[in-house]
Amino acid sequence: MGQISGVETLVMALKINGVKRIYSVVGIPVTDFARLAQNERIDYVGFRREDAAVNAAGIPTSIVLNLADTCKLPQIQERGMV
């Protein structure tokens, strides 16, 4: 049995925990990680700047929380997420 790399371990952990999309800065250190993530059907969204990646990652959460507040969804409000 061959050894498992750190990148493979990280991708397996993300998959097990239900991660569907990753936002990151494109570059050589990330290439293997992005390729393996995509092989496991995890979307990889690459950016040139960290601030752009952070902003893009926050958009889906912001939309869900704003929608929950607008629609008064009790499950979200009970958890104190709005």
Helices 6-16 + 28-39 axis angle, to 10? 40
Sign of CA dihedral 25, 27, 33, 39: positive
* Residue-level pLDDT at 30: 87
Residues ≥6 apart with Cβ < 8 Å to 57:
23
pLDDT of the chain, 82 residues: tens digit per residue:
589 888 999 999 999 999 999 988 888 888 889 999 999 999 999 899 988 888 888 887 766 666 555 555 565 556 655 4
* Residue-level pLDDT at 35: 93
* Residue-level pLDDT at 57: 84
* Residue-level pLDDT at 29: 82
Distance CA 50, CA 67 (A): 27
